Amino acid sequence: MPMTDVIVVGAGPAGLSAAAEAATYGLQVLLLDEQNHPGGQIYRGVSENVKPAASGIDILGEDYWRGRELTDALHDSNVEYVPGSTVWTAENDPPAIGYMVGGRSYLRPARHIIIATGAYERPVPIPGWTLPGVMTAGAAQILMKSDGAALNGRIILAGSGPLLMLVTCQLLMTGANIAGLLETTRARHYLSASRYLPLALGARKLLQKGLSMRSTIKASGIPIYPAVTAMRGNGAEKFEEISFKSRGRSHSLSADLLLLHEGVVPQVHISRLLNLQHEWHRTQRYWKPVLSEWGVTSSEKISIVGDGGGIDGARAAEVGGRIAALHVIASLRAISTEERDKIAAPLFSQKRKEKRIRPLLDHLYRPPEEILCPTDPDTVICRCEEVDVREIRECIRSGCEGPNMLKAYSRCGMGPCQGRMCGLSVSEIIASQRHKSVEKVGYYRVRSPIKPIPLSALATLEPDEDYPAS
């Protein structure tokens, strides 16, 4: 078998378009995806769901069905697509990906790797967030997309961001009983975001979509609480009630389900494992890999596309996927750099266009300080090992200087999620208490395996003779 030219990890919009583009130019492409069907999260289930008739109710919306074009293109290509494959390790030089599928493990070398693992919702640590019955807004959307769910019981949505509004609207369409929408956006955010409005006007359709969601929510009559702080989930063995402040007044709402959302952040697990260079996004407070305009990381044979390289949304991800693929295609000499530049020029303009709304959204929907850096001592930060703010602060007082030392002091970050849920919070808490920048404090060191792998699968791992490293 010929050497694999490119391994693409992740079958969301960025991965799908990068893989299809590379295959179009005759490259041998392996596309790995953990989920059983393509589309990532934003287009989750798009290849399996039946589009409702035009006369019927379409909860998922026209933008969602766009994903079908991408999954159809995958189907029509000769990309080697392996759904249900879990990446457990990655190597830079020479590039290789270790993955597991069907209980067996493989290590595939390639000439280039494109990581397209996307984003995940920023964890929202409030007291009580670990109770059964507290989930992310995206989790509710996954149930709607993948399982045709109409959620039962009283539901509360809390936080900020376009996805929170979208899920609220979608739930309303399913007839859900929404007991309240708690918005953590402050008035000063509107003010600071307003200077980006002229730029955002270049993304008129998206702005209109946002405004229309807001008016749908207002018209629905669900209680909306502005400027929410001090949220606390209460309940004996599951979530039963949320207490909070809105404009200084105290409130308490009983409900069966609490859906939290404070924006999305790039998944940096693989990029950290590969020891790539990262930088800190000052407004949205997340880590992102340092990338060239072609999506190449600090390691020349590794590229990152889509939201995993910085949150820019699904359409920008598609275009970015093609741009990165073109660079790889040229670097593997299937086209010249002149051809690459010519084909990519309109794609760069399109990407700039897709990004016009981003500064407005970044400034409007800033996660609140008390979510970024929780102060309530009872707030669990490391869900896996149950380490709360109190314990973390004591460790810092005892001399703990950074996230990796904190692991040794308290086991914080050493559980199965490997810091995915606590990493951002820990860096912020340490930075705040030690009066250092988050950039200086850094992040956990990530080691393989990055997903649980049974010893039996590891034991069957052999270099694949069909795919020699050469």
Partner 1 sequence: MFSRRPDWQRKNGALPVMITLDGMPVEAFEGDSVAAAILCVEPSYTRLTPVRGSRRAPYCMMGICFECLMEIDGVPNRQACMVQVHDGMAVRRQLHEPSFAIEEDKNHAHD
Q: Give the one residue of 73, 82, 107, 142 binding partner 1; rule: CB under 8 A.
A: 142
| Cβ(37)–Cβ(83) below 8 Å | yes
Site for partner 1 in 226-265 (CB under 8 A): 237-238, 256-257
Neighbour count for residue 206 (Cβ, 10 Å): 20
Q: Which residue in the set 101, 107, 143, 335 belongs to the binding site for partner 1 (CB under 8 A)? A: 143
Based on the shown chain and the rule CB under 8 A, indicate whether residue 76 belongs to the binding site for partner 1: no
Q: For residue 180, count other CB atoms closer than 10 A to its CB.
A: 21
Instruction: Tell which one of 24, 25, 47, 334 touches partner 1 (CB under 8 A).
Output: 47
Q: How many CB atoms lie within 10 A of CB 201?
A: 12
Q: Cβ distance 243 to 252 under 8 Å?
A: yes
Q: Which residues of 276-301 are buried (b: 16+ CB within 10 A; e: fewer)?
A: bebebeeebbbbbbebeebbbbbbeb
Q: What is d(CA 296, CA 254) in angstroms, rounded to the nearest whole number?
A: 49
Q: Find tokens 């109770």 and name the residue.
A: 131
Rounded least distance, CB 260 to partner 1, Å: 9
Binds partner 1 (CB under 8 A): choice among 98, 127, 138, 266: 138
Of 107, 139, 172, 290, the residue at the interface with partner 1 (CB under 8 A) is 139
Cβ of residue 68: shortest distance to partner 1, in angstroms? Answer: 11
Q: Calculate Rg over the CA atoms of the chain.
A: 22
267 binds partner 1 (CB under 8 A): yes
Please identify, using beta-carbon distances, which residue of 114 and 457 lies nearer to partner 1: 457
Q: Any contact of residue 52 with partner 1 (CB under 8 A)? A: yes
Q: Does 120 bind partner 1 (CB under 8 A)?
A: yes
C-alpha closest to that of 59 among 151, 219, 170: 170
Task: Write phi, then psi, for 102 (nearest 5 degrees).
Answer: 60, 35
Query: Of residues 49, 184, 410, 427, which one binds partner 1 by CB under 8 A?
Result: 49
Residue 8 neighbours by CB under 8 Å, 6+ apart? 15, 18, 19, 22, 29, 30, 31, 32, 113, 114, 116
- Indicate the helix (H) or strand (E) that contains 87: strand 86-91
Asked whether the beta carbons of 117 and 224 are under 8 A apart, the reply is: no
Task: Considering the complex, state which of residue 86 and residue 331 has its C-beta at the smaller distance from partner 1.
Answer: 86
Q: According to the binding rule CB under 8 A, does residue 34 interact with partner 1?
A: yes
Question: H or E stretch including 318?
Answer: helix 314-331
Among 26, 61, 94, 132, binds partner 1 (CB under 8 A): 132
415 binds partner 1 (CB under 8 A): yes
> Least Å distance between CB 34 and partner 1?
6
Least CB distance to partner 1 at residue 134 (A): 7
By CB under 8 A, tell whether 48 contacts partner 1: yes
List, in sequence order, every residue forming a beta bridge with 104; answer none if it has no partner. 101
Among residues 373, 131, 161, the alpha carbon closest in space to that of 232 is found at 131
Q: Does 134 bind partner 1 (CB under 8 A)?
A: yes
Per CB under 8 A, contacts with partner 1 among 163-192 are 174
Rounded CA separation 113/275 (Å): 14
User: Which of 23, 119 has the CB closer to partner 1?
Assistant: 119
Residue by residue, DSSP assigns 237-304 as: SS--EEEEEETTEEEEEE-SEEEEEE-EEE--HHHHHTT--EEEETTTTEEEE---TT-B-SSTTEEE
Stretch that binds partner 1, among 17-25, 28-36, 205-213, 325-333 (CB under 8 A): 28-36
Least distance from partner 1 to the Cβ atom of residue 11, Å: 13
When the beta carbons of 60 and 291 are compared against partner 1, the nearer one is: 60
Q: Which residues between 432 and 451 bind partner 1 (CB under 8 A)? A: 451
Q: Sketch the per residue contact string, 361 through 400, with partner 1: x for CB under 8 A, - otherwise.
A: ----------------------xxxx--------------
Nearer to partner 1, 359 or 449 (CB): 449
Of 164, 420, 443, 467, the one binding partner 1 by CB under 8 A = 420
C-beta of residue 400 within 8 angstroms of C-beta of residue 262: no
Q: Is 56 in the site for partner 1 (CB under 8 A)?
A: yes
Asked if 421 is part of the footprint of partner 1 (rule: CB under 8 A), the reply reads: yes
Q: Could you list the residues that contact partner 1 (CB under 8 A)? A: 34-36, 41, 47-50, 52, 56-57, 59, 86, 120-121, 123, 129-136, 138-139, 142-144, 146-153, 174, 237-238, 256-257, 267, 383-386, 415-417, 420-421, 451-452, 454
